[in-house]
Amino acid sequence: MKQTTLNIQFLGTGTSTGIPMIGCSCKVCLSSNAKDQRLRTSILVESAHTSLVIDTTPDFRYQMLRSKITHLDAVLFTHSHKDHIAGLDDIRAFNFFSGNAMNIYANASTEEAIRRDFYYAFSDNRYPGTPELQMHTIVGDKFFIGDIDIQPIKVMHHRMPVLGYRLGDFTYITDANYIEQSELDKIKGSKILVLNALRKEKHLSHFTLQEALDIAHLTGVPEVYFTHISHQLGMHDAINAELPSHVQLAYDGLCVRL
């Protein structure tokens, strides 16, 4: 079967506080380089017939406006932390113009958090203008959204199970610090891999820069990008200069195609 061509845009590449961080005067937060200015982590994935985002961050509304996105078919969620779900209410703009409920995909624990935090969207007596959401529970098997085939990849974010996704030959993993071998095997053969790389120092629930490099090496993927970046990692250009030629830091607005 012919592989679907995918266009991927990085809507945000920062960790939960974003960069600049409120109240911080470090050189990264004060940088005038646009690549050092990072909204919370999310991507847009588009094929010829399907458009979806992974995660609705607190910056979701601005991300949609900044990238001039006027249509979405679905939202995939990685997990329930606020920097990945908080912008979901702004889906209602897409409801208004499409006339349809938004398809959202999440595992059972993330679905529970979404139903709790956005309870008003699931009420039997919904207030007019609240988001219209069609929930789909991910149980671990491969599935399709439109013409995009999606393989969930289970990773650990400290003690919290999180979903990464392989979409065709593109694999996206954020908020992880451990991946079992059986899940690593699902990544192998990808053409592009995106991994979280929070900082150089050890962290409880995220890969460090070196740990992300080690995972990238184990998978053998030929093109790798790091995301979910903290201001503690350092300046974009300086860190990029330290990386192998096939590895780069992602940045907001970066587009890749495969």
> Measured between alpha carbons, how far is 27 from 36 in angstroms, rounded to an integer?
10
Q: 104: number of CA atoms within 13 Å, CB side? A: 31
Rounded mean pLDDT, 146-173: 97
Give the residue from 167, 171, 163, 164 showing the smallest Cα distance to 145. 167
**Per-residue model confidence (pLDDT) at position 206:** 98
Cα angle for residues 161, 165, 170 (degrees, 5° grid): 150
106-146 pLDDT, tens per residue?
999 999 999 999 999 999 988 999 999 999 999 978 999 99
Neighbours of 150 (CB within 10 A): 21
Pick one of 3.60.15.10, 2.60.40.4070, 3.40.1280.10, 3.30.200.20 as the CATH number of 7-257. 3.60.15.10
Write down the domain spans for the chain.
7-257
> Measured between alpha carbons, how far is 207 from 155 in angstroms, rounded to an integer?
11
What is the pTM assigned to this prediction?
0.97
Is 2 a residue whose pLDDT tops 50? yes
